[in-house]
Amino acid sequence: MMRTYIKALNLSKIYKVGEVTTHALKEVNFEIQEGELVVVLGPSGAGKTTLLNLLGGMDNASDGILLIDDKDISKFKEKQLTLYRRHDVGFVFQFYNLMSNLTAKENVELATEIKKDALKVEDILKLVGLENRMHNFPSQLSGGEQQRVSIARAVAKNPKMLLCDEPTGALDYETGRSILKLLSDIARNQHKTVIIVTHNSAIKHMADRVIYIKNGQIDKVEINENPMSIDLIEW
């Protein structure tokens, strides 16, 4: 039985820099079901990063409601937001953000250290296909391998949701595909809600739900009844 995992109601974000006011998000409304693979699409400057910040608990909304797992995180204070990020969100960065002086395994441990019901690090590294590389430092890994470590770090916390910021942005075509495959496998097999924020519209076919964002507003939302396997998508 699917249930609504995320619900945004008239969500707005206004930045004020001096006398300049920017409406980064204007009364946005959308829903995301639990376990869905979602692609948020939009050109740069459309408000993707702002939405990512709000979903990731890195910033507060100026107005509106953001229900995640039945809690309105838009009203969270800093401490609550920290705990939300710690327990409920796994973050995958465009540039991996690995600690260069920690091995692959230790980078994953950086996340599991602060979570009680974290998954076994070795298991997760096996899941992302790095069981033989776990004692290597980031500099000894390829870009794709580094992104796998980053995904492993996000998954290992056993969060309900993975938030991915342009996860293939720094990778070549083939490697990017393999990373997207991994993310979709995680959504399908681990039943995580996976949100991918990107400007690459080709990957929308693999998503259950595509949210188009433009000028700080939701342009449209598409539901794919039959999402394509990444193997069949070309761009």
Partner 1 sequence: MAYIKLLFREIKKHFVKLITITLMVAVGVGISTGLGSMSDIMDDSIHSYYKNIKFPDLIIKSTSNEGHNQAIFDFLDNENVLYQSYIEYDLDTKRIHYVNFDNYKLIPLELLDGNYPKNRDEVLVERETLRLKNYKVGDLITVNGVDYKVSGIVFNPFYFYKQDIPSYINQDININTILYFDISNFEPIGNIKTDIQIYLDLDYKKDYEESVEKWIEKLSIFENIKILTQNEMISAKALDMNTNKVRMIGTIFPIIFTLVILIVVVSSIESIIEKDRLILGTFKSLGIGRTKIKFRYHLIILIACFLGGLVGVTLGFEVLSKFVYDTFSTVFVMPKIVLNTQVEVGIIITVIMTLVMIITVEIMASESLNEKTAELLRKKAPKPGAKIWLEHIPFIWNRLKFKHKSSLRNVFRYPINFFMQVISILGATALVFAGLSLLDNVKVLTDYANSSIETISYIVIVCAGVLSILVTYNLTNMNVENREREIATLKVLGYKRGEVAMYIYREVFIISTIGILLGIPTGYLIDGVLFDYIAFGSIEHVRYISIFYTLLLSYSFIILSDILLYRKIHQIDMNGALKSLE
Report the candidate in 67, 66, 68, 24 with the shortest Cα–Cα distance to residue 47.
Answer: 24
Residues 125-164 touching partner 1, rule: CB under 8 A, are 137-140, 153, 157
192 burial (CB, 10 Å; 0-12 / 13-18 / 19+) is buried
Output the CA torsion sign for 196, 165, 141, 136. Answer: negative
Using rule CB under 8 A, residue 6 touches partner 1: no
| 8 Å CB contact between 234 and 53 | no
Member of 47, 56, 64, 144 binding partner 1 (CB under 8 A): 56
Minimum CB–partner distance for residue 143 and partner 1 (Å):
13
Which alpha helices (DSSP H) does the chain contain, by range?
48-55, 78-88, 104-112, 121-127, 143-156, 173-190
Residues 30-49 touching partner 1, rule: CB under 8 A, are 49
- With tokens 């924020």, the residue in question is 197
Could you give the CA distance from residue 208 to residue 194 in angstroms, rounded to a whole number? 10
Could you give the CA distance from residue 33 to residue 52 in angstroms, rounded to a whole number? 17
Measured from the CB atom, the residue of 106 and 185 that comes closer to partner 1 is 106
Using rule CB under 8 A, residue 202 touches partner 1: no
Minimum CB–partner distance for residue 77 and partner 1 (Å):
12
Minimum CB–partner distance for residue 197 and partner 1 (Å):
10
Minimum CB–partner distance for residue 120 and partner 1 (Å):
15
Residues 57-86 touching partner 1, rule: CB under 8 A, are 58-59, 79, 82-86
For residue 60, give the DSSP letter.
Answer: -
Measured from the CB atom, the residue of 28 and 141 that comes closer to partner 1 is 141
Task: Please give the residue ranges that form the binding site for partner 1 (CB under 8 A).
Answer: 49, 52-53, 56, 58-59, 79, 82-87, 89, 91, 93-95, 97, 99-103, 106, 109-111, 113-115, 137-140, 153, 157, 165
